[in-house]
Each structure stands twice: as structure tokens, then as C-alpha cells.
Homo-oligomer: A and B are copies of this chain.
Amino acid sequence: MKVTVKNHTMMYPAPAVVASAYDDEGKADACTLAFAAMCSHHPPAVMIAINSTLKRKTLADILKTGEFCLAFPSADQAAEVDYLGIESGYDEDKLAKISYNHKRAEKVNAPVIEQFKVSLECRVMHVCEVGSHTQITGEIINIQADEDVVDGRGKIIFEKLNPLAYDDITHSYYRMGEKIDDAFKLGLKFRK
């Protein structure tokens, strides 16, 4: 039987990713967010949404510079990722607190955080206010990845990245599980 549950934004699964940008003085800021998705194949683009009702220094930086990096953390980095979501860059040098290093991205003016295995370098295409959040669409200009998570064809190996997932309803981090099957094949049986 279906029941009605209280209205709350939800997505299953949702990622826990880290956006990073430079402030006016060239200091690197970073914040964790779960409101993120792919949104175009051509050009490759991602959408992120950051709470604009809270003090979010990384959001202010992205809107000023028009560029940002988006990193995909691994499950074993959950504590560091959680800290980057709790603390404000206005109060602390968060990356220094977790002893994470960064350097300028190759193609955009934003910091790549070295300890994260995969980072997208993005340029803002579109900004839209949606309720409590600022929704930013970014074109993916360049992608950097640790050599050990990339296969011989230049593709990210899901199991080696071992991405971190987040549940916004119970405020919990999750690991990913095993592969079920190949897409665009599994459903063909219903064509018969």
C-alpha cells in the first residue's frame, strides 16, 4: 500500500562531492555538496546546487570567478568530506585543517584538490536561483584523474574510485555495492 510521506527533497542515490574555487586573494576554498548531477553530454556539463541562505564562501567564489572544480571523493574519505560540509571557509582554512593539498587546475582558474582521485574542471554556463539554493551549470573543460583509477582506454574504473554516496533523509554516508549488469543490454529481453 502507498502512503504519503512528508515533502522533502530526495534523490536515491545522491553523491557526496566537493566543489572548489579561489577567492579574491587566491585562497582555495572547498565545500561538500549532495545536490549534483550530470546535465548534458554535448558539451559535457554538470549541475551543482549550493545553499544560498547559509554562508557558503565557495559559492561566492564560484559566482565571482565563473570557474570551479568538482571532485569525486572515495568512500574512505568520508570524514574529510563531512568536515568540508560542516565548517565554513569564512571561519577556517578547511583544506589545511584536513591536510589536503591543492594546485591550480590545468584549464580553469580553480584549485584541484590532490587527494581526490577524480576532478572535473568546470566553467559556469548558467546560474539559476531555485528556492533555498543557487543552481550552477558548469561545462566540463578538463578532467584530471589519478593514474591508478584510469583503465587502458582512459576510462574511470568505478571500483577503484570507490565513490562516496549520501542519503539526505537520514544524513548518512554509504558505500557503493557490486555491479549488477550492463545497461542497454539487460532490458532487451522485454523487446521480445
Contact A131 B41 (CB under 8 A): yes
Contact A150 B3 (CB under 8 A): yes
Residue on B with the closest CB to A2? B144
Add 12 more A-B contacts to A2-B144, A39-B47, A83-B191 (CB < 8 A): A10-B44, A11-B36, A11-B37, A12-B156, A13-B176, A45-B130, A86-B191, A97-B190, A172-B179, A172-B181, A173-B183, A176-B176
Contact bitstring A103-130, B, C-beta under 8 A = 1, else 0: 0001000001010001010000110101
Kindly state the interface size class of chain A when it binds its partner.
35 or more
Contact bitstring A158-174, B, C-beta under 8 A = 1, else 0: 10010111111111111
Given contacts A7-B141, A79-B189, A183-B85, contact A12 B118 (CB under 8 A): yes
Residue on B with the closest CB to A141? B7
Cβ distance A35 to chain B, nearest Cβ, rounded Å: 5
